[in-house]
Amino acid sequence: MAEGKDQQESAPKRSAKKAVKADSAIAPAGANQSHAALARKYRPKLFGELIGQDAMVQTLRNAFASGRIAQAYMLTGVRGVGKTTTARLIARALNYALPGADGAPTLDMGEEGEHCRAILESRHLDVVEMDAASHTGIDDVRDLIDSAHYKPNTARYKVYIIDEVHMLSKQAFNGLLKTLEEPPEHVKFIFATTEARKVPVTVLSRCQRFDLKRIEVEQLAQHLAGIVAQENASADPAALMLIARAAEGSVRDALSILDRAIAFGSGKVEAEAVRGLLGLADRGRIFDLLETVLAGDAGGALAKFAGLTNDGAEPAQAITDLADAVHAVTLVKAAGSSDPAASEAERASAADLAKRLSMPVLARAWQMLLKGHDEVKSSARPHAAADMVLVRLAYAADLPTPGDLMRRLGDSSGEAECAPRAMPGKQAPREPTPAMRQDAPPPVTEPSPVDETEDPAPPLQPSLANPKSFEEVVELAEEKRDLKLKHALSEQVRLVRFRPGHLELNPLGTAPKELGQDLMRKLKAWTGRVWIVALSGEEGAAPLGVQRREREAREIERIRDHPDVKQVLQHFPGARIAAVRATASEEPPAPPAEIDDGAEAEFKEDGTDP
């Protein structure tokens, strides 16, 4: 009975096994297997598989062959260039041994050793990987130092790999110094960091440092092509170039982008798909946009930029691409070289623009695009901010460069007019009307006829639009209600030389750094002409404010010596002369021996205002 019962109970189990087996046969292959990211799947397992780090590999190879193995290594570089991978490969080389043989540390690891797989998979007992970002304190380092005194369990060396070592605290670094300088013979340290400048010099001096380089675009594109072939996928060379350029020398970033691109295209990687994934703009359209904006055509530039953003380009990325295009044109202009990753059409466009644009224009465009990129990134409305960057760039395109400005100043007075200049080979943009320009003089109108029988109108106050002295420049600033500039010119500079259109000043230590540029810009707007403001090291005259106060002090002393004033001061003890003001009297001033009827003295008694 019991046996029959067991047979009855085992029957459902056999049925369940058959059902599971049938379901597994129906399910597609690999359905229960998780996808391994390309960055992990194709992580180098040998030094020969590392790309772009030939100098480091050669140094390590010679050092291991001659037995000159350092007690600590410092691996630095940007993200994704192979710091952690290199650290594991060094740990594998230090402990490389074939089964049943002792061997010695070597970089020639043709066969898989008994410790290799466990080290590469980060599960070896004698290779300890520590993330300094989450283990930053002295207690963590103290535990590491205590365990370092014990010999390795099965391997040749006990290796400590500390990633992002710059995150350790100051106390942790200090606690590590002694062990790092004189570690036990069986202990090796390998540090990896992206911020080598944050690592104390006392730690860096105890390590053999290797700076891992960014991977070149062409070399990275070739590496991606090999991975695409292994994945049984297809990719356009232009698409791989776009991925390599976007990765900025990082292999991990490039593989992550490639993983997305393969998934997006179902095994086929195309340039247009990559541009859509990354928010990039067509490089040919970027050069067209650059040509339009540097020709001063703001409307055309905005229209082309709107087309780029409608097709998926990000505003900040488009501004970055414009800056890259300016950089490419500048390289052709300065050195005759071009970007090796650029296509033939891009090289032709860069060469054409290099012939028609001057170096100062390119340098100015570069600076404006760099500043504009920061504005777009931090703006709540990136598209509007990018539009404003293009408008500024277009309206600055026809402005003369500083060199042209100096050459066009024909005479020393600076009265030569600087006409706007458009990009050669392009039609200059239409000049805005005077009402659209802030610095344009008001339109001249014919005076209306005046009836001779009526009294003529009183004469107007003389205009300060053409200052003949430095004092009139200060008065002009006051007339324009720019009190900050007036104060700076009165109190913070010494006049060295003055002539119409040219100022030479000696700024004091309290003067603003941008005073010269600010004064030139405002004088041009106020007077309608170009002024040259030069900063000199000569001492020059005393500031106008100092001169005015000295004159007032002399006038007060002169009034104080008058007998009538002395008598007044005797009747009002504690009074003092605060200021001397001229009255509207038309009589000539009296001799110094008498009180001037054309002047009156203000008195203060006990320090109060009269």
As a whole number of Å, the CA-based R_g of the chain is: 40
* Domain ranges for the chain: 39-211, 217-278, 283-396, 470-540, 545-605
The mean per-residue pLDDT over the stretch 443-454 comes to 43
| Residue 427 confidence (pLDDT) above 60 | no
What pLDDT, in 10s, does the model give residues 91-143?
A: 999 999 888 777 789 998 888 888 998 998 889 999 999 999 898 899 999 99
| Residue 414 confidence (pLDDT) above 50 | no
- Tokens 């911020």 map to which residue? 195
pLDDT at 3: 46
**CATH number for the segment(s) 217-278:** 1.10.8.60
Residue 560 · residue 544 · CB < 8 Å = no
Give the range with max mean pLDDT: 284-298, 462-476, 571-585: 284-298
Average pLDDT, the chain: 79
pLDDT at 599: 44
| Residue 306 confidence (pLDDT) above 70 | yes
What pLDDT, in 10s, does the model give residues 42-64?
A: 999 999 899 999 999 999 999 99
Cα angle 396-397-398, degrees, rounded to a multiple of 5: 95
pLDDT at 409: 65
More confident residue, 5 or 192: 192
Are β-strands 208-211 and 187-193 bridged in parallel, bridged antiparallel, or unpaired? unpaired
Residue 333 · residue 376 · CB < 8 Å = no
What pLDDT, in 10s, does the model give residues 482-509?
A: 888 888 888 888 888 888 888 888 888 8
> What does the block give as tokens for 229?
């072939």
pLDDT at 62: 93
Domain 470-540, architecture per CATH: 2-Layer Sandwich (3.30)
pLDDT at 546: 86
Residue 254 CB burial class (10 angstroms; 0-12, 13-18, ≥19): buried
Closest C-alpha to 106, from 73, 75, 70, 63: 63
What pLDDT, in 10s, does the model give residues 6-30?
A: 444 444 444 444 443 434 333 444 4
More confident residue, 585 or 566: 566
What count of other Cβ atoms lies within 10 Å of the Cβ of residue 517?
A: 11
> What does the block give as tokens for 192?
């990896």
pLDDT at 593: 41
Q: Hey, what CATH class is 283-396 in?
A: mainly alpha
pLDDT at 466: 80
Q: Alpha-carbon distance 56 to 81, whole Å? A: 13
Amino acid at 184: P
pLDDT at 535: 84
Residue 397 · residue 294 · CB < 8 Å = yes
Percent of the chain with pLDDT over 70: 78
pLDDT at 433: 38
The residues with which 497 forms a beta bridge, in sequence order, are: 504
More confident residue, 420 or 269: 269
What pLDDT, in 10s, does the model give residues 553-580?
A: 888 888 888 887 877 877 777 777 877 7
Cα angle 126-38-130, degrees, rounded to a multiple of 5: 25
Q: Alpha-carbon distance 71 to 531, whole Å? A: 66
Q: Helix 483-491 and helix 515-527: axis angle, to 10°? A: 120
Q: Where would I find the beta strands (DSSP E) of 430-565?
A: 493-499, 502-507, 532-535
| Residue 245 confidence (pLDDT) above 50 | yes
pLDDT band at 274 (very low <50, low <70, confident <90, very high): confident
If you ran DSSP here, which 8-state letter would residue 198 be given? Answer: G
Q: Alpha-carbon distance 97 to 157, whole Å? A: 12
**CATH number for the segment(s) 39-211:** 3.40.50.300
| Residue 246 confidence (pLDDT) above 80 | yes
Listed in sequence order, the residues at least 6 apart from 47 whose beta carbon sits closer than 8 Å to its beta carbon are 57, 60, 61, 89, 93, 107, 109
pLDDT at 340: 64
pLDDT at 583: 66
End-to-end Cα separation, the chain, in angstroms: 129
What pLDDT, in 10s, does the model give residues 338-354?
A: 766 666 777 888 888 88
Q: In 3-state terms, what secondary structure has residue 30? A: coil
Q: Alpha-carbon distance 53 to 60, whole Å? A: 11
Q: Alpha-carbon distance 191 to 196, whole Å? A: 10
pLDDT at 11: 46
